[in-house]
Structure 1
Amino acid sequence: MTHIITIDGPAASGKGTLARKLADHMDYFYLDTGAMYRLIGLAVLNANIIPEDSEDQIADMGTDMANGFQADMMANPDLKRDDVGQYASRCASLPKVRLAVLDLQRSLANNPPENAQGSVLDGRDCGTVVCPEAAVKIYITADVNERAKRRHAELQSKGIDTPFEEVLDDMKMRDDRDMNRTTAPLKPADDATILDTSSLTIDNAFAVLKRIVEKQA
């Protein structure tokens, strides 16, 4: 049986960086489930579709993406754009869209490529919906103001001058949408270990993460 580790949490909590580092450290397959919704969000944005008015159409787009999925699709640099992230969150709030990619996510987690012995899943519902049977479940979080500071600094490093208050408001809006959607809301699994990175560097947080995984292995 494939050893599966799920890492869930809100935006800019550090979960993506930590999940990738853990997968590299353990030589496990890394699956960014959120990037699948970003692929859909990018297509919806480019097609000028309003997500909330087009659930069936977007679900069909999700099915097409899943059926034709190739790993290199996740390397598209446009997936990192903030507007794509917002559209991804809106699309991910639609139940039929989530259902359209669920089988693909589960299949990749349980049958990782290149004969990897395990998978590290990074997302928002990996431990609660995608792989509730995972051996290790971790929920990474941080204070919303700290997360907004991180995102603001990231945008500035890219030459994007967005006011901090706008970044904070967007972060709060996305948290509200992710945590209060009717299908697969963002929340810790009942048996997840909580890791708060508010006052931790990435290196310190990774050291804590490794101890959690080793203890539960």
Structure 2
Amino acid sequence: MTAIAIDGPAGAGKSTIAKQLAKDLGYIYVDTGALYRAVGYYMDKQGVDLGAEDQVVPRLGELTAELKYIDGEQRVLVNGEDVTQKIRTPKMSMAASKVSALPAVRDFLFELQRKIARENDVIMDGRDIGTVVLPDAQVKIYLTASPQERARRRHAELLQKGEKASFEEVLADIVERDYNDSHRAVAPLRQAQDAILVDTTHLDLEKSVERIHQLIKERQSHVDRL
């Protein structure tokens, strides 16, 4: 099985690019961020303090998070409820950032992610795929863009969905999440030593996919020659 890990900060376009690459390559796309959002969604619904391990951990046993592929599209289920759309809000983005800092939550989701990778050719994106979840992935990409560009993309996305948010609020959320993700004690966001850095600040979606597709081909060709 082949595993491609794509890491990077919030709003870098990981999910959009990974989905397109998975479709082009015939791989399974695994959106690990959606799983953390699912945990954040459930805990928020229960009214617990998302950063308090003593409140979150006892409730993990009540939670079943699943990724299902329906008509070729990934859906996220929490205890059987389809929450695919509900978890795509700025509030759930921050909720995911908070619960992902808890070691017990990461352990809870790691085995699910690794099981999918053991059984399928996958493209998996997140914050620590190449460093922690799939350290032996054959191809590792670290995808980034400037905070302002990432906020512009996220803001446009929210407006398209009919959600109200100012650019300044979205940028502040991006900056705060960058700090939280890179400073957490467990599996902080960082570029793996053997990951290829790709900055998409000045690239549109098509050019970004093209660039990474080429890098994947080059890396796989190099591995095949070894």
Cα deviation, residue 60, structure 1:
4.5
Q: 1:70 to 1:21 in 2, by over 3 A?
A: closer
Q: 1:25 to 1:149 in 2, by over 3 A?
A: same
**Matches of 1:123 and 1:80 in 2, distance apart?**
15
Q: What is residue 158 of structure 1 aligned with on the other side? A: 161
Q: What is residue 223 of structure 2 aligned with on the other side? A: none
The AA in structure 2 aligned to 1:104 is L
Q: 1:5 to 1:70 in 2, by over 3 A?
A: closer
Which of 95, 105, 109 is matched with 1:101 structurally? 109
**Matches of 1:105 and 1:64 in 2, distance apart?**
19
Q: What is residue 170 of structure 2 aligned with on the other side? A: 167
The AA in structure 2 aligned to 1:59 is V
The AA in structure 2 aligned to 1:120 is I
Identity in percent: 38
Q: 1:120 to 1:157 in 2, by over 3 A?
A: same
SS in 2 for 1:215: helix
Would you tell me which structure has more strand in proportion to its own residues? 2
Q: What is residue 39 of structure 2 aligned with on the other side? A: 40
Structure 1, unpaired ranges of 5+: 113-117
Cα deviation, residue 175, structure 1:
0.5
Q: What is residue 100 of structure 2 aligned with on the other side? A: 92
125-134 or 68-77, which deviates more:
68-77
The AA in structure 2 aligned to 1:42 is Y
Deviations 1:2-26 (A, max 9, x none): 1000001111111111111111111
Q: 1:162 to 1:95 in 2, by over 3 A?
A: same
- Tell me if structure 2 keeps the 8 A contact 1:23–1:119: yes
Q: What is residue 8 of structure 2 aligned with on the other side? A: 9
- Tell me if structure 1 keeps the 8 A contact 2:50–2:98: yes
SS in 2 for 1:6: strand
Q: What is residue 66 of structure 2 aligned with on the other side? A: 69
The AA in structure 2 aligned to 1:69 is E
Q: 1:129 to 1:151 in 2, by over 3 A?
A: same
Normalization by structure 1: what TM-score?
A: 0.91
**Matches of 2:49 and 2:56 in 1, distance apart?**
10
The AA in structure 2 aligned to 1:209 is I
Which of 115, 118, 124 is matched with 1:110 structurally? 118
**Matches of 2:67 and 2:30 in 1, distance apart?**
12
The AA in structure 2 aligned to 1:34 is G
Q: 1:137 to 1:148 in 2, by over 3 A?
A: same
- Tell me if structure 2 keeps the 8 A contact 1:15–1:140: yes
Q: 1:103 to 1:158 in 2, by over 3 A?
A: same
The AA in structure 1 aligned to 2:211 is V
Structure 2, unpaired ranges of 5+: 69-74, 221-226
**Matches of 2:210 and 2:163 in 1, distance apart?**
32
The AA in structure 1 aligned to 2:212 is L
Cα deviation, residue 190, structure 1:
0.6
Whether 1:19 and 2:22 are equivalent positions in the alignment is no
Which of 44, 56, 59 is matched with 2:57 structurally? 59
- Tell me if structure 1 keeps the 8 A contact 2:34–2:76: no
Q: What is residue 195 of structure 2 aligned with on the other side? A: 192
Q: What is residue 224 of structure 2 aligned with on the other side? A: none
**Number of equivalences:** 209
Whether 1:201 and 2:204 are equivalent positions in the alignment is yes
Q: What is residue 115 of structure 1 aligned with on the other side? A: none
57-66 or 188-197, which deviates more:
57-66
**Matches of 2:87 and 2:194 in 1, distance apart?**
31
